[in-house]
């Protein structure tokens, strides 16, 4: 990139594909970290940087990447995301022209696609903001609460019940860390592959409260190796959510289709229409597609 001056360089789709490919390298080079992939924590960074959006005041969202600044970086919900931000910083070193908001959301897109998920249409246009653009603590969901809390948080972003249930399927990926959220364990047996197992397990396993000193969470009675948060479990106890959870448990294609649409919307929250460099979002190519 050295010959390209940051100011008069207009990156093309191919340039963003190069960034995507660099992220793939870092995701895969995770050694002993967690389940051998940085994918899940990158998805979480992209989500937490977008999920602060408030449709009434049009504040928050992915536009300004304000999680770079205190106090947002220290908000309880963001504990552990320094791992993902530090990783993305290494990518930024090689592609200094990309904005942090574009980089972090592209990281989420890349992670989902490379972990066997659906294509997530994405486009660049976010700009770097300032600490003053940050939103107050408390805009992200609290895992100890229930169905109404989820509605309160996600309706504020502009989502409906179906989209809440679809987005929650991201918990097929990754795990909870006692030193981050206080909760412990993965939701599925394949935490680095996106599947609809999260919904299947919610219906098929018997979930019991874990007896421990930590925060209230459920464990599967059979193996006691999987977990559900109180907010996950409401997807099968709330009548409206349950209908969608059942449909996604029965049909992975439907889940992928709805998940793709909802995540694409999520990652664009808070970005003024005039900032997009293209009216039609792009489908970035996976590593496999480029090698084929």
State the first-to-last Cα distance of the chain, in angstroms, to the nearest integer. Answer: 26
Longest dimension (CA), the chain: 60
Q: How far apart, in whole angstroms, are the C-alpha atoms of residue 15 and residue 11?
A: 6
Q: Which of 11, 141, 158, 281 binds ligand CCH (CB under 6 A)?
A: 141
Q: How many whole angstroms from its chain centre is CA 263?
A: 8
> Cβ 261 to ligand CCH, closest distance in Å?
12
Q: Is 229 in the site for ligand CCH (CB under 6 A)?
A: yes
Provide the token pair at 154. 């996600």
Which residue, 40 or 95, is less far from ligand CCH as judged by CB? 40
Question: Considering only 1-9, 98-106, 178-186, 192-200, which stretch makes contact with ligand CCH by CB under 6 A?
Answer: 178-186
Which residue, 95 or 163, is less far from ligand CCH as judged by CB? 163
Q: Give 136-141 contacts, CB < 8 A, sequence gap 24+.
A: 137/71, 137/72, 137/75, 137/76, 137/77, 139/51, 139/52, 139/53, 139/54, 139/60, 140/48, 140/51, 140/52, 140/75, 140/77, 140/78, 141/51, 141/77, 141/231
For ligand CCH, what does the binding mask look like between residues 28 and 67, x meaning CB under 6 A?
Answer: ------------xx-xx--x--------------------
> Cβ 63 to ligand CCH, closest distance in Å?
18
Q: Is 231 in the site for ligand CCH (CB under 6 A)?
A: yes
Q: How many CB atoms lie within 10 A of CB 78?
A: 21
Which residue, 115 or 284, is less far from ligand CCH as judged by CB? 115
Q: Is 167 in the site for ligand CCH (CB under 6 A)?
A: yes
**Which residue among 47, 104, 122, 187 is the active-site one?**
187
Q: At what angle do helices 147-157 and 161-168 cross, to 10 degrees?
A: 100
Question: Site size for ligand CCH, by CB under 6 A?
Answer: 24
Q: Which of 141, 157, 161, 159 is nearest to 149 (CA)?
A: 141
> Cβ 103 to ligand CCH, closest distance in Å?
17
> Cβ 5 to ligand CCH, closest distance in Å?
36
> Cβ 194 to ligand CCH, closest distance in Å?
9
CB 202 within 8 A of CB 236: yes
**Mind telling me the catalytic residues?**
48, 187
Residues in touch with ligand CCH (CB under 6 A) = 40-41, 43-44, 47, 80, 141, 143, 150, 167-168, 170-171, 173-177, 180-181, 183, 229, 231, 263
């Amino acid at each position: 990139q050295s010959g390209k001056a940051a100011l008069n360089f207009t990156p093309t789709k191919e340039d963003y594909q190069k960034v995507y490919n660099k992220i793939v390298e870092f995701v895969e080079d995770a050694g002993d970290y967690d389940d051998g992939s940085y994918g899940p924590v990158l998805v979480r960074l992209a989500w937490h940087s977008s999920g602060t959006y408030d449709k009434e005041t049009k504040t928050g969202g992915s536009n300004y990447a304000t999680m770079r600044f205190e106090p947002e970086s220290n908000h309880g919900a963001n504990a552990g995301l320094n791992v993902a931000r530090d990783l993305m910083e290494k990518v930024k070193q090689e592609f200094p022209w990309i904005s942090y908001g574009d980089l972090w959301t592209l990281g989420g897109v890349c992670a989902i696609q490379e972990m066997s998920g659906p294509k997530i249409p994405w486009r660049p246009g976010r700009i770097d903001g300032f600490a003053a653009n940050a939103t107050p603590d408390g805009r992200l969901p609290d895992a100890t609460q229930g169905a109404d809390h989820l509605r309160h948080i996600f309706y504020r972003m502009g989502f409906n019940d179906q989209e809440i249930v679809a987005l929650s399927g991201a918990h097929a990926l990754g795990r909870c860390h006692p030193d981050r959220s206080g909760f412990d364990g993965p939701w599925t047996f394949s935490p680095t592959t996106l599947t609809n197992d999260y919904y299947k397990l919610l219906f098929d396993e018997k979930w019991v409260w874990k007896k421990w000193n930590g925060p209230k969470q459920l464990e599967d009675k059979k193996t006691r190796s999987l977990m559900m948060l109180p907010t996950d479990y409401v997807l099968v106890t709330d009548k409206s959510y349950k209908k969608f959870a059942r449909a996604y448990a029965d049909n992975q294609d439907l889940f992928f289709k709805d998940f793709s649409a909802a995540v694409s919307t999520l990652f664009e929250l808070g970005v003024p229409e005039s900032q997009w460099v293209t009216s039609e979002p792009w489908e970035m190519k996976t590593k496999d597609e480029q090698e084929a």
